Structures are given as C-alpha cells and as structure tokens.
Structure 1
Amino acid sequence: MRSVEEPADRAGPDGTLARMTRSVQDLPKAHLHLHFTGSMRVETVRELAASHGIRLPDALVTDWPPRLAKATDERGWFRFQRLYDAARSCVRSEDDMRRIVREAAADDASEGSRWLEIQVDPTSYAPFVGGITPALEIVLDEARTVSAQGEIGVAVVVAASRMRHPLEARTLARLAAHHAGDGAGDVVGFGLSNDERRGLVADFAPAFAIARRAGLALVPHGGELLGAQSVMETLEHLDPDRIGHGVRSVEDPQVLDAVAEAGVTLEVCPGSNVALGVYAAAKDVPLRRILRAGIPVALGADDPLLFGTRLTAQYAAARELGLDDSELAGLARGSIEGSRMPQHLRAAALADVETWLTAG
C-alpha cells in the first residue's frame, strides 16, 4: 500500500490525472471503532510482558504484525483470539491501563483524530484492580485526564462479550448506565463484541434496552464474520445507532436497504477485514457499495496491535479504492456525525474538515 503521505492519482473529467496532495493524516476525523487491548503499541505490549514476566507468542515479538489465518473459519478465529488473549494477559495494573488510554489518545491525535470512543470490557481487567467498577473508573479517569489536555477528547464504550452469558451483559449495561454522560471521560456507548458465531443476538436485547434507557449509543458488532443475515438480526433485535463492521450487508440488497433506511452508521475497518481474511485485499472491501447505498460510514482501525495498521491507514486504503479527497472528507464527516462528540467540538471538527478540503 502507498504511504499515507504520498499523493495519489485520479483521473479528472478531461481524462488527465489529477494529483491528490491533501494529507489524510491532517484530515480531522473521529475514531469510533478501537478496542482497548487491541489499541496497544506493539512496543508497549512487549514492555508490559517483560515487566510482568510473561512470555509472548513469536507473532508479537519477532514476526509482527501477525499473519492471521482466515478468521471466518473456527481455526482462524482461534489463532486471532489466542494472540489477543496473550496481549490482554499483560495488562495487570492500574498503571498499565492508564498507559493504554494515554498512548491510544496520543496515537489518534497524531493522526488527526479529534475524538476517540475507546471500547473496553472491564471484566477482563477486573481481577487486577478490584472489580469491574474500579476497572471502568480507571479508564474513565484517564480519559478525562487526557481530554483535559485539549488535543483530543476521549470517551468510552462499554462492550459485553458474546462469549459470556447474556446476564453478564446486563450487569455491564447497568454499570455503563451508571457512568453515562455526553462528554469526554464519560461512558457514551454500549457494545457487543467477539465471535459473531457465538450466542443469539436476541438474547442480548435486554442489556441493550438498559443502555438505551440511559441514553447510550448502541454500537454492537455484526456482519464481518457472518453474512448479511447477522446484520438484519442486529437491526431487528438491538435497534443500533451504529454497527461495528456491517460490511457483509452488501451480500443482500434488502439488508443494505434496511441499514440505509434505519440511518445506522457502519464502522468499516478495512485493515481488519483483510487481516482476518474476510476479503482478500483492500480493493475488495465494499466501501463504495455501502456509500452508494447512502449509508454513513466511520472508518476504524479495530485492533492495530494485531492488524498492524492504525486510523490513517484506513483512509489511505479508501484512497486506494479510488475515493477522491471530497469523498474522504465525507468519510471524516460520517465519523464525526456518527460519534457522541459534544456539539461544540463537533461543529469545530466539521468546520476544520471543510478547511482541509478547500485549502488543498
């Protein structure tokens, strides 16, 4: 893939090649699909492993980024999950958790992100800090600290796991509701992640009802490992504001139309789609078809630790698909408008997108 800073060529109306020189790194944007553990720098996970006496798999040490098997089959997903669990096992203290938030915010800010909604399942870290409530409060407190510095606003999405009982999802939804707010350092959303082939979407509807009553954005995963039917089930049972991935809605025109009619934003993560073998190459990610259907899109990096690409690379991938700078600006607007960014920050970011576009 071309460097994110290298201009691309695009045929203009007269058939000549027009240079696109605007930096996608400088494009103001929001980041709505980033997992807590998966946000880590590879150097950080190595340092945490060394400090806690943990031996990491070679794929996180000498063979990074990992060459992941096709996760649409069970063996491929198991390999991905094994590496993810190995990285998560290195997070064993409050200081570790704060470092992850701080570095994720710094990395996003350096790539033009004005707002980050980082997704965390506090049950993963609860044993080391005294429970799920302290685990979440540590993340929220560091998000407030980072946001106060003014470079980027950081809010939190609490995510339940499809690998656990739906009653646990209700517990997490109540915890998320207790910390719900509409600004940096607040819980702004409730999600559902992990292997889409596990659990029934309908069983998690009561948890999402709790989150809905608290005014949280509903942001479950769907439509990456499974096809269009999983997207339709997510729409029908969870009534989401956004869907993590959702790219395979293109496999059924009726589902694609239903997503558009519902006004749901899709969090499209090209790097994830390719790394997990959902699509063979970035050119196969159906971003254009989704945009043509009138569906808002927010590009996301998902798990940079395992996929090897951060947020700017997703915009570079979109440029490789032939999107011009005006269309890239549209993607940035989609991320900002699909976020829970406070209104004054939203207005400023949208204005800066226009400045980016007109100043090129």
Structure 2
Amino acid sequence: MRVESVRDLAVEQEVRLPRVLYEGYPPQLSAADERGWFRFQRLYDSARHVVRGEEAMRRVVREAALDDGSEGSRWLEIQVDPTSYAPFVGGITPAMEIVLDEAASVNATAEETGSARVGVLMAASRTRHQLEARTLARLAKKMAGTGGVLGFGLSNDERRGDTTDFTKAFRIAEDAGLLLVPHGGELLGADAVAETLAALRPHRLGHGVRSVEDPRVLAAVIDAGVALEVCPGSNVSLGVYNALGEVPLRTLLDAGATITLGADDPLLFDSRLLEQYETARAVHGLDDARIAELARSSFRASAAPADVVTTAMADIDAWLAAPPSSAPRVEVSPRA
C-alpha cells in the first residue's frame, strides 16, 4: 500500500494510526526478537485495518499494479489472506471475488494505464488454526484457474506454529495445480527451510536466504528446483542481516539457486522492487547479464500467462543487447 492511501483510508474510516506512519516515517524496525516482530506486526495490522470494504480493497489492488508498472514491472502476484477483509464484505468468498474482479479489471486496461498485470494468490496465516488453512485451501481450489486464484501461501511469523500442521492444506492446493508459495527461511535458519521443503513441497519460498547456513539444505533447495524470493531491503530492515552487503545474494546465485528479487513490504520498509535490483548491482556487483537473468528467473518462477512471459523475455533480451543507457542510476539509500 501507498502510505498516502493508508492515511486517506484512516481518515475515511476514522481510524487512529500509529504516529510513526505520519512522523518519522518510514519506521525503524527489527524482528530479531519477539518484541521487534510484535512492533512490525502491529504496524502491518494497523495498515491492513483501514482496508474496510470493497472500494478500499479495489484501491489497494489497483494502486499496487500501477506502482509496480511505473517501475517497469510486467507482472504482480498479490498474496491475499481474505479473513482480514471478510467481516467487511460478507465473508471470505466475497472478499476473494472482489480481489479477483479488480485484478481482471486492471489486466483489461494494463496496456493503456501502464500498470503491471496482476495474478492473485491466497494465503493462510501460520498463527491461525490449521483447519482455517484447509478451509482457505479448499476455497483456493474452487477458485483456481485462468482469471482465478493462481497460488497458495503461508504467511506471518515463521517462529510461530508448526509447519507440518499445514501439510494437508498444501496438499489440497497442490491437487488443484496451484503454485505453492509459503514464507520461510528468513527469521529461522536452514532447519526451517528443510522442514518446509519436506512438509509443504513449495515451488517458491518467500525468502529462504538462510538455506546458505547448511550446504545440504541449499543443495536440496536447488535439486528440488525451488525458487527463492530474496528481499534484501526486508532482510536488513528486520535485522536478519546488519547491512545489504551481508545478504547472501551472490552466494545463492553462485551455488546455482533460482532467485527472484522481491520488495516484501514496501509500505513499512520504504524499499520497492526497483531498489532491490539497484542493490544487486551497486552492492553485490552484478553485471547486466546477471541482472537480466534475475529478471528472467522471476518470470520462470511465476504463474504469469504465456503471453506475458514471452513478451517480457523478449524485452529483457532487447534491454541486454542495447547500448548502455546514459540515464543516471538510482541511488541506494544507506538505510535500506
């Protein structure tokens, strides 16, 4: 979400936001301990709490697609836990129908508006009961297909809940042919990645950077063809690493892992997707060829339709073959 939109919706709903979303923004965060995660989650929930009703939900989807499109993105996979919005629109099914309908509207006008096209993923929370996750997986299965739900994830603090409790939910989603995209391997280490691989059989893993802490686990990630969504700005903002240079991006790439860059949560980290690519270049020293391969990997690991992938791949090749641009590089902020 745009911070301006959070503030606007708070006024409309007469909701009081934490002061840091006005003064001293962006917040200085750390999730290195439970107290730090609680502060992050409180801010996240405060922002989500202003999204009450259909129009606010549509606004979030539309603006996310426009903002990603303005940076050059072609495809946005937005992950939704409908239980957050269900009380305001009549249930989890209407909540998902609203998101899917707005995504379809965005996709129909993407060429004229310059927005990214949108795919919708559903997510369960590991802080809630496993039976709720199964209910959401069944709904995702019912709504799966072209123009429907494309994937199923697991979100929230990976230090809470037992990953194996969600195996049945992920088997339901797997049976529907959905992309399996749980979070894991950011706040916890390589053992948590190994457990997630065994229990959930993911196609992509949100983060997964700490698989580097055990060569056997990293080899298992690579052998399984699991893509890692590496989010450097998030890793530093949450205190997983102290500086951008410590994020093991090159180590993962050199080992042969499939990597797709992500911004994770631009609202609270004030660090969008473009900045992650600039970090890859300026901090990790990746040249144009490796930058282009990161972009290609993001499409290979996605649920994007064939026409989006084909056009994007051709344009990435054209960018790589073009003479170096004289345009100034985007500076990477030290805080990120």
TM range, smaller chain: over 0.9
Q: CA deviation at 1:98?
A: 0.1
The question of 1:42 aligning with 2:3 is answered yes
Q: Is the 8 A contact 1:115 1:341 kept in 2?
A: yes
Higher helix fraction: Structure 1 or Structure 2?
2
How far the C-alpha of 1:130 sits from its partner, in A, is 0.5
Distance 1:88 1:344 in 2: 33
Gaps of 5+ in 1: 1-39
Q: Secondary structure at the match of 2:166?
A: helix
Cα distance in structure 2, aligned partners of 1:186 and 1:268: 26
Amino acid at match of 1:231: V
Q: State the match for 2:224 in structure 1.
A: 262
Matched, 1:84 2:44: yes
Aligned twin of 2:331: none
Partner of 2:252: 290
2:21 aligns with 60
Give the equivalent residue in structure 2 for 1:171. Answer: 135
Residue of structure 2 in register with 1:156 after alignment: 120
Cα contact 1:111–1:312 (8 A) shared by 2? yes
Q: Secondary structure, in 3 states, of the residue corresponding to 1:215?
A: coil
1: CA distance, partners of 2:15 / 2:269: 22
Q: Residues 25-82 of structure 1: CA distance to partner in whole angstroms, max 9, x if unpaired?
A: xxxxxxxxxxxxxxx00000000001111111111111111111x2021011000011
Output one character per residue of 1:179-234: Cα deviation in whole Å (capped at 9) or x when no partner.
Answer: 1114xx42110000100011111110000000001000000011000001110001
Q: Which moved more, 1:159-168 or 1:315-324?
A: 315-324
Q: What 5-or-longer segments of structure 2 have no aligned partner?
A: 324-336
Q: Which residue of the partner structure matches residue 20 of structure 1?
A: none
1:64-122 per-residue CA deviation (whole Å, 9 max, x = no partner) reads 11111x20210110000110111111111100000000000000111111111100100
Say which SS state the counterpart of residue 150 (structure 1) adopts. helix
User: 1:217 — aligned with what?
Assistant: 179
Return the letter of the residue paired with 2:298.
S
Q: Which residue of 1 aligns with 2:77?
A: 117
**Matched-pair contact (CA < 8 Å) for 1:72–1:226:** no
Alignment length (residue pairs): 318
For 2:91, the equivalent position in structure 1 comes to 131
SS in 1 for 2:74: strand
Of residues 286, 302, 326 in structure 1, which corresponds to 2:289?
Answer: 326
TM-score, normalised to structure 1's length?
0.87
Shift of 1:344: 2.0
Q: Are the aligned partners of 1:234 and 1:240 in contact in 2 as well (CA < 8 Å)?
A: yes
Q: Which amino acid aligns with 2:206?
A: G
> What's the RMSD between the two structures over aligned residues?
0.8
Q: Percent identity?
A: 66
With structure 2 as the length reference, what TM-score do the two structures score?
0.93
Secondary structure of 1:192's match?
Answer: strand
Rounded to whole Å, the distance in 2 between the matches of 1:55 and 1:202 is 38
Partners of 2:93 and 2:237 lie apart in 1 by 33
Q: Which runs of 4+ in 1 moved over 3 A?
A: none
Letter in 1 for 2:230: V
Contact 1:228-1:252 within 8 A present in 2 as well: yes
Query: What is the match of residue 330 of structure 2?
Result: none
The one-letter amino acid paired with 2:2 is R
Q: Look up the match of 1:97.
A: 57
Residue type at the aligned position of 1:109:
G
Task: State the match for 1:230 in structure 2.
Answer: 192
Cα drift, residue 153 of structure 1: 1.8
One of 337, 357, 360 as aligned partner of 2:300: 337
Instruction: Confirm or deny that 1:147 pairs with 2:111.
Output: no
For the 8 Å contact 1:159–1:192, the answer to whether it is kept is yes
